[in-house]
Structure 1
């Protein structure tokens, strides 16, 4: 996002935090209603253009949003959306993307309140790896001809009773309302939002054998010192790395595996 949209999203995040700081606000219900607003704005192109039209007064846009949502959502959701449409957006689509982000953040807040945020982070990561390793499953979940009911039923058969309810709701929304994103990108975005709830970044760590608790603690402390942020480690085992570990933080890769060193030596010899 650029300029005005970035500022508008930052303000919306602050309003969401203020709302969810109150224990009287049902974060899961707020997430459900924000997801419904996302679907509405994504579907109704003309509506989101009107609600982000810089030529219209902010109060007029907020009043229109209030009329449309009256009786459909609760007061906290209506207030949050009203505040968002009062502000300026660089693109109409940025408003939809931001409402969707707030819906996911509200879900993660519900998990944090329940003490299950760590579980949700790990489950999102593991589900992403399962999808990556199963061509058939990925095809079924991204099949444009498959109905929402069929995809939802499939996901609930996979996750129901095995994953936290927040994980299940997030994944179902992502799969049934992809909004032009790949499944992998959507899962990565959710993982980053989950990490942000604890003001920490995500490191994907690949090793030849499982790391011990001591190794995980030392690696987490070293990465936190290196990046200046607490780190959530997503761990995976791949015997092909031969030894050592690979750490990926965002687009940056720290490769300390034997396989990487062998490849580097071969390249030097070939040169």
Structure 2
């Protein structure tokens, strides 16, 4: 998102945080209801265009949202979405993406309350690596989900893979991604969920690849060095790949710090070829 949409999302996330500061609010229920709103807005193109039309008064759009959602979701979610449509959005689809992100955030808030947010981060990362390494699994979980039978089969497969082995929030987040990918790749969606989980702790995620597992001391020193470099806590997602030969590669968002032997050898080969 850019410009107005990014600002509108930031305001909506603050509103969600304020709402869930009240522990009496059921964050999982909020997630389910926000996911239902996402499905509605994703399906009803004309509706979302009306709700994001800058030529229409904000209060009129908010009232329309309240009328449509009032009997389908809780008052908290109706108020939250009504506030969102008062904001200005660069594209109508950005509103749908924002509501979906709030749904994911609500599930992560529930995990944070349960003291399992760190586990959810790690499980999302590990599952992403499993998917990336298995074309068969990726094919089974990707593709069109318009057919209810196909969507049900994917959901059942996920339950067999994750049920009882992962935290409830992890299973809910991944199931929602698979059931409604909305044009995203499975790997890309999992990476986005991992970043969102990290943001709940106001920290970045570093994907660290090494030839052999890092020791506890190495992990602590690397985490401290990255925290100094980026000015915030950095969560390490660790991956072992013998192909790097030695050293480590660190990726944080678009930044890549590649200190692997394989990378250095590749650079030597390129220079020799040149």
TM-score range, shorter chain: over 0.9
Specify the alignment match of 2:85 in structure 1.
Answer: 85
**TM-score, normalization: structure 1?**
0.97
1:94 corresponds to 2:97: no
After superposition, the CA RMSD in angstroms is 1.2
Specify the alignment match of 1:206 in structure 2.
Answer: 209
1:261 corresponds to 2:254: no
Give the drift of 1:262.
2.0
Specify the alignment match of 2:127 in structure 1.
Answer: 127
Matches within 5 A, 1:207-222: 207-222=210-225
Spell out structure 1 runs of 4+ moving beyond 6 A: none
Specify the alignment match of 2:68 in structure 1.
Answer: 68
- More moved, 67-76 vs 122-131: 67-76
Unaligned runs of 5+ in 2: none
Give the drift of 1:250.
1.1
- Count residues in correspondence: 271
Q: C-alpha distance in 2, partners of 1:173/1:153?
A: 12
Q: C-alpha distance in 1, partners of 2:142/2:32?
A: 22
Unaligned runs of 5+ in 1: none
1:160 corresponds to 2:200: no
Q: C-alpha distance in 2, partners of 1:262/1:5?
A: 44
1:150 corresponds to 2:153: yes
Q: C-alpha distance in 1, partners of 2:82/2:158?
A: 33
- 242, 246, 249: which one aligns with 2:249: 246
Q: C-alpha distance in 2, partners of 1:270/1:65?
A: 62
Partner SS, residue 238 of structure 2: strand
Q: C-alpha distance in 1, partners of 2:221/2:38?
A: 41
Give the drift of 1:263.
2.0
Specify the alignment match of 2:47 in structure 1.
Answer: 47
Specify the alignment match of 2:273 in structure 1.
Answer: 270
1:118-146 C-alpha deviation (Å, 9 max, x unpaired): 00000000111111111111111113266
**TM-score, normalization: structure 2?**
0.96
Q: C-alpha distance in 2, partners of 1:187/1:232?
A: 16
- More moved, 36-45 vs 241-250: 241-250
Partner SS, residue 194 of structure 1: helix
Partner SS, residue 208 of structure 2: strand
Give the drift of 1:170.
0.4
Give the drift of 1:180.
0.8
Give the drift of 1:87.
1.5
